[in-house]
Every structure is written in structure tokens, then in C-alpha cells.
Chain A
């Protein structure tokens, strides 16, 4: 496969890669850009571990091709905090202890950010439904709902997620 140049932004920085445009965004982030915070869990959009924001919308990066993000803005887990200040969702996950092994957490947090950007006051049921695409095998689900609820309370004062 001939390499093609693809330009997009990741966490606010312009990026250019020349490679097979049919490679997944997950693989580009991890292998070409060395941004390993985004995780491989299943490769078929079933677990949510690879979730990133593309132009503000949550996408499974394992099932999103490089060609689909040309000219777009990607935010990954590495781009959420502002310096030492955690994003309210990260802070809430930390405060609630809403992680165990933590491998699903990057995707969980990105999913929660997307959820809260759409709905600042979700009910517990809306949180459960909204987060149902994310698997946590350590079974931290109850604390995750609590963390999203807590983040929702903190979010109105927070700045919008960077894009």
C-alpha cells in the first residue's frame, strides 16, 4: 500500500503522517504518534477502550480509519488535562476511585466527557445507558456512575473540552 499524507490535529497540535490511509486511528495514535493512553481492547468497537473524540464526538478509534479523520480534530486522554489541572471528569474518577486496573479508564473518561458535553445533567439511568458501550472487567461500574454524576456537578464551571 502506497503511503498517503494525512493531516489532522491531535490534542490541539497539527499532525501529519504519511502512511496507509486504511490503518486505524488507534494504530496511528499508538504506533506512529506514540500516544499510548488510548487502548486496544477488542478491535471491533465492542468494548469502548479505544474511545477518542473526533470533532467533539466519541469514536471508537479501533474502527475509525485514518482516511476518515483527515482535517479533523482528535482529542485523546492525553489532551484532557490542562497542565497539572485534571479535567473535571478525570478529577471525579480520581476522587471516586472509579478505576481498578485502569485499562478501560481512558476510554471511559472520553465517553463520559462526550456524554456530559451533550447532557450536563444526566440521570443515573442516562449515565448507565450512555456508558453501556464501555466494558470494565474489574466491575467498577457503580463507582463510574458516581464519578460521572460528580463530574456533571463540577462541569458547568469548567471550560469546554479542548478540541
Chain B
């Protein structure tokens, strides 16, 4: 087997365009599979545009449902969306995954809403490539604006089917319909589908707990790493000692001699399958001792930012408004830095792979991209995608870090060789080293102001991290906003909110610098330049709830500061006020209070939205204050939760989240945007306390 170091090219994930990878399938419904899994009943298939078409529409939220044919003669693929058992059990199918962000509850609510049944009547079957429609990546805050409309129109169509069939006889139920019509495997509903208006919502808009919450709390839920198959062995992989290292020699004899151990050596890939993890580890250890590697030089994190600038593709772009700057009343220039950080989901990568006698492979794994992983497996083994099944049980956290299928491929390679199911769970150190990272960034900012303190030119260049969040919401006639590539020394990929965190850290800190340069209050300076009402509304709400004006006016402790930041991203709006206290003895900043206002249109599940906001604030706290990957000679130096310190209970400040509900607007995704204003709000508060401007995450005073 060849191993490829640039698999990320396939999933290059700088922004939403990542998801456009067209899926040219024509869904082949096989009655047998559905009956096996769901029992006899009525399967309702909904015509769906391809993922590409959905993306092209820009909103992805256009109403789906409708006829089986487009204007052309080409059939539109059919997505099996709803299964109604003869016993009345309702199963809704989606290719989306649940990794803790709340998709299971939200999609169940949406289905119940349109089927007009209680939420607990609906079971959601998620992310089984054999059964579920391809709803694309679970990423980019797309579940709410893209998948929900699709689920809703499909379920509304099913409801219409029932209504038409029963012809006014209210005593007839979905079970009766299924029993009466069970002969037909699929039923394509008509085109005139009406979804429930927000004002009439009964299931959506209400706080809704995760449907399988009880199983989580009793230990009954099977995460990908908990899957056990008959005759299953435990795998381990011989990892390279450093980035880019090539295996030149390895002695596998000692490992092979161990009882129950199978060694799989295929090019650079060396792994074992063993009766338990301890034996697998011992076998790998035996080979590590003999393995010889070519280790190329690799830059150190100490030189990271210089390295990224030096390797900028096409050179670092110059400010096209240099003349404006030289003639301006005031101008400022600053460079901001954001290091590599990692998602650190509680469940490291895991997969169980099993091949059947016909050469078909099933892999249970954690991924945000089940159909992409199916493709990855098909490519790796040179088989047709129809012989690969990927099943994604609800898993232990993704945060953008589980878009790829390397662990699935590794498990499948071992299972193929030993002809038995193999479980592979990466260790925390493997996850820290060989999973991917949030891209590091150098951000160059330059702006000019006229005598009244109004922005006259804006130059903003992100090197390496990407485009999301690069566009400023502040009014300025002359704007140059760019994202340029570099030569990233580490494997990088998606992360919750992508580059929007880096770009908003730089912009919102730099805006504060400009406000200070004009002598204006940071809130007033922003409001002077904001034209977007929804952004203004969250900023004003956060400032009001925080008591911004009073806090600014009051004589304060020398070691306490307040700061704010606001942003818009993925169709939602956020503003954060933070209060920090400097500990002069330790010279560190402690965040005492965070007040956040957030608006994402009509709120679908208020309790989950609250959790997502709180969680995003906590997750943002880590890279703001402490998290950064340290690497030297191609080795990650802090690949341990003792050394890479994520936020813990004792780090949690007082957090107040104010959700602004806009039932008059369509619902936008909300998993990412609540993260992006935390770091700059803290940075601005540190400046307020110390008059010292920091320009690098994590925010270290010394």
C-alpha cells in the first residue's frame, strides 16, 4: 500500500467551498437492506438536488422535495428520507453526524414538526452510507441552513401523502398508511410541499434534549471506539518518529513471534493486529527498536511565523493603498500571529473494520464526512464505493478535526490482511501528532484614518490560514482583503470556525488599536463604522448586558480591564465583552467574566444553542490563553494533555449568554460563530488593564 502524505488535498478546507465535491450518485435503493435494518414498511424517497446544486444555490436552504425529474431528461437522484414501519415506527434518515453539536435533536425536531408527531415518535438514523442520503460534510454550520430544509420538506411531503391517502379520516395513522401501502418500497411525493411557518412551530423552537441522552449517561451508547465485533482483534500502527520521515528498514521478526500477533508490512505502512491492546503495543515497541528512518529537516515552531512569511506563495502582497496611507491624518500597521492548535476531541480517532467473504468492507468510525471516508476507503483499496460501507455512530467530539478517514483506512488494511475484524483507536499522542491542526497564521493589517477618526483605507492579508472571516464588516471605501497560501510545515485542516478565529482576532484587536489611536471608546468607534443592523444589535446587546459604559467610566483597579469584539460569520452574528484580571505576581491574565450576545435567525433549539455558545466560549478560551502546538525537528513536543493545556473546570469564568431570537429570519448555523470574538475581546481587555498591546495568540504577558 502506498501511503500518501497529501490526502488533505482532497479535503482542502479553507472555506465552505470545500463541500462542493460533487456526488454523482443515483441512489440505488435496495429493498433488502432497508427491510433488514428497518423492518417492513413504507419507504418515502424524496427527490433531492445534488450537493453541488445545493451549494450553487448559495443558501443551500432552498426548498427541496418535488418531482422525480428536472427540466432535463436526467432523473434527479432519490434520497430515501423516511421509513414508516407497519407498527407505526417512524425513522428519518440523514447523512449528517452527531458529534456533540446537537444535530440529532435538531433534525429530530424538524422531522417531528413536519410529520406533526411528538418528537419522541421519531427515530433518526444518521450517517450510514448504505442507508442514508449524502447530506454532505457535517461542517461549516451547514446542518441548520441546508439539511433542515431538506428534512422538513421530505417530512412535509410524507405528511401530505398521509393526508391525501386518508381523505379526511383523522383516525387513520402513519401505521395504517404503511400497512396499506407496504408493497411499494418507495413513494415519491408530489411537488406542492408546504413547510410549517415559524409562527406555528410546535417542535422546533423549543428546548429539546438529545434523544439518546439516557444511553450516554448509563454508558450504554456505543461510540465508534466501543464497537465490538465477533473475533475482533486490536490494531496498532508503527508511527514515523518525525514529520516526513521515511522508513528504510525494520525487523518484524520479534513482533511476529509474539503469540497471536499478525504483522502487516506494506511499504511505509507497518501495523499489527493482536488479541488485545497491550500485546499490540508490545509488538509495535519491538519494531520501533529496530526501525531505521530517513528524517528530513523540519522547521521549529520558534521560527514558525518567519517561515510562513518567507514561504508565502507569490510573496506577501503589498498594500495597494500606500498613497492613501502616506497622505492620511493617521495610519497604523500591525502584524498578528496565530499558532497551530488542535481540536483535541475527547475521543481520539477510532475505527473498526470488517471485510466479508465477498470483499465488501464495513467500517464503523468517527468522521464528519462519512461519504468522503467511503470514497477514501474505495480509493485506498481500489474497489468500487458500492463495496464500502461507512457507519458513524454518535461520536466523541469533532470540532472540524474529523473530516478524514486515515484511521478507517488503517483499520481496514489490518482487517483485510488478517481476515478478521480489527479495532484501531489512536492514542492521545498519535492524535496530537498525526491528526491535523488548525492552520497557523500571520496577519498583516494596515489602515488609515482621516482627521475625524473615520477609516479611509483598509489592508488586511492573512498568510496561510484562509479566507473565512477575512472580510471586514466595517465601512471603508478602500478595502484590500486577501488570504494567501504559504508552505505549512504541519498537516492542517478544518477547525471549528476555520480561519474566522484568526482573522477576527487580528481585525478586532487592530480595530481596538485604531480606536485607541483616535481616542475614541472602542464601542463608539465600532458603532461609527458598522452599517449592518444585525451586527450592531448584538454589539449593543452585549455592551448593555455587560454594563460597558459604566465599566469604562468607572475608576478601576489597575489590574482589571474590559474589552469587546464583534463579528459576523456563516450567517450569524456575535459580540463578546470580557473582563480580565492581571495577576502581577504570575504575570498572567485571568478571564473573570464573559458576556456574549448571539443571533442566528430563528432559534430552533434554545437549550442546545445555549450549550453551543457556552462550549464555544470555553473552547475559545484555550487558544486565547494557553494552547499552541510546540514542535522541534519534526516532533510535536507537547503531545500530551499534561503539556497541551485545554480549559478545565477551574478556568471557567462567569459566562452570560444572551440569545437574540429572530423568528422573522431563516435559521443559520450556530456551532462556530460563537467562538470567534472571544480571543480579541480578551486581548482588548488585557490592553485596557495594562496598556500593553499583544499581537500573538496565546495571549501571554511575559
Interface residues of A (CB under 8 A from B): 19-20, 22-24, 27, 30-32, 34-44, 46-47, 49, 76-78, 80-81, 86, 90, 93-94, 97, 99-106, 109, 127-129, 131-132, 134-145
Contact = CB atoms under 8 A, between A and B. Distances in A.
Contacts of B652: 128, 141-142
Interface string B331-357: 000000000000111111000000000
Interface string B260-289: 000000000000000011100000000000
Given A97-B209, A141-B649, A41 B346 contact: yes
A135 B614 contact: no
Interface stretch (B99-107, B293-301, B367-375, B450-458): B99-107
A36 B228 contact: yes
Contact of B619 (A23, A40, A103, A137): A137
B428 A43 contact: yes
B702 interface: no
B473 interface: no
Which A-B residue pairs are the 4 nearest by beta carbons? A37-B219, A101-B100, A139-B618, A103-B396
B225 A39 contact: yes
Interface stretch (B31-39, B210-218, B548-556): B210-218
Q: Determine which residue in A37, A132, A144 has the highest number of CB atoms from chain B within 10 A of its CB, and name it.
A: A37
B209 to A, nearest CB: 6
Interface string B87-106: 00000000000011110000
B220 interface: yes
5 contacts: A39-B347, A94-B217, A101-B395, A132-B650, A135-B641
A86 B218 contact: yes
A129 B395 CA distance: 28
Interface string B584-619: 000000000000000000000001000100111111
Contacts of B687: none
A77 B220 CA distance: 9
Contacts of A132: 648-650
B399 interface: yes
A145 B649 contact: yes
B216 A137 contact: no
B218 A37 contact: yes
Contacts of B244: none
Given A78-B218, A138-B397, A142-B614, A44 B641 contact: yes
Contact of B646 (A43, A94, A129, A137): A137
Contacts of B510: none
A80 B218 contact: yes
B216 A102 contact: yes
B222 A102 contact: no
Nearest to B617: A139
Chain B, interface size: which category?
35 or more
Given A47-B346, A47-B641, A36 B425 contact: no
A42 B431 CA distance: 10
B446 to A, nearest CB: 35
A49 B277 CA distance: 18
B640 interface: yes
Contact of B226 (A36, A41, A131, A142): A36
B234 interface: yes
A90 to B, nearest CB: 5
Interface string B486-519: 0000000000000000000000000000000000
Nearest to B396: A103
Nearest to B275: A31
Given A105-B216, A132-B650, A139-B647, A100 B101 contact: yes
Given A44-B642, A137-B346, A139-B616, A99 B216 contact: yes
Nearest to B98: A101
Contact of B397 (A93, A103, A131, A142): A103
A101 B217 contact: no
B655 interface: yes
Q: Determine which residue in A20, A40, A106, A137 has the highest number of CB atoms from chain B within 10 A of its CB, and name it.
A: A137
Contacts of A41: 346-348, 428, 641
A111 B652 CA distance: 18
B649 A38 contact: no
B184 interface: no
